[in-house]
Amino acid sequence: MATQMKAPPSTKKEIVDVPFNYRSLVEKHSPGGRYIDAQSDVDSPWVPFGDTAAIKHLSFDVRRNLFSNILWVKGPGVVGTHLHRGTITMVVLEGSVRYLEYDWTATPGGLILEVPGESHTLVTEHPDGVKLFGWMEGPIEFYDENAQFIETVDVWWMMNHYEEYCREHGIAINQKLYL
């Protein structure tokens, strides 16, 4: 029977040369892991999302229509009803948030999962609003208050949101954000 691991098998503070048959292919084709600073604006600026919210873009993966960012709603406010066609994974960093459609309120450290086919309306009643870190899969369809479809948000929308702001403010595009 194979060894059943109960804990990390080594705690040695040393790099181990792990055998892997396809190392050269990884080096040739993998976008590579990376660190993106999310506490400052060094790697990515806050880009306004309306008058009362902003998005800090952290990653764009065009192969899977995935994007990562921090959504900051700066005070009590609403992100209007939208319909998901992909899966959303978010962690509350600060403040709190709830949805008109659900009976829970998310607080710092908590995990929010959203699944394809759900439409919902995000509300923060916290005096400081909410900061949400997310790995998100598009598309997301946004509707106005009359249930009129307005636009699809996906990795391309997010990328354009970031790049347009950078262009307008003379900020260099950070290639680290592109997987």
| Smallest separation, CB 60 to Fe ion (Å) | 19
In b/e form, how buried is each residue of 5-39, taking b as 16+ CB within 10 angstroms?
eeeeeeeeeeeeeeeeeeeeeeeeeeeeeeeeebe
Q: Kindly tell me which of 45 and 95 has the beta carbon lying closer to Fe ion.
A: 95
The angle formed by the CA atoms of residues 80, 139 and 98, to the nearest 5 degrees, is 35
Q: Which of residues 104-133 bind Fe ion (CB under 5 A)?
A: 114
Q: How far is the CB of 81 from Fe ion (least distance, A)?
A: 9
Compare residues 114 and 137 and give the one whose CB is closer to Fe ion: 114
Name which of 60 and 99 has its Cβ closer to Fe ion: 99
Residue nearest to Fe ion (CB): 114
Under rule CB under 5 A, which residues in 77-106 are in contact with Fe ion? none
Q: Considering the complex, state which of residue 142 and residue 156 has its C-beta at the smaller distance from Fe ion.
A: 142
Show the site string, 20-59: x = touches Fe ion by CB under 5 A, - = not.
----------------------------------------
Exposure string (b/e) for 139-161, b if CB count within 10 Å is 16 or more?
bbbbbeeeeeeeeebbbebbbeb
Q: Is 108 helix (H, G, I), strand (E, B) or coil?
A: coil
Q: What amino acid is encoded at 14 in this protein?
A: E
Contact residues toward Fe ion (CB under 5 A) are 114
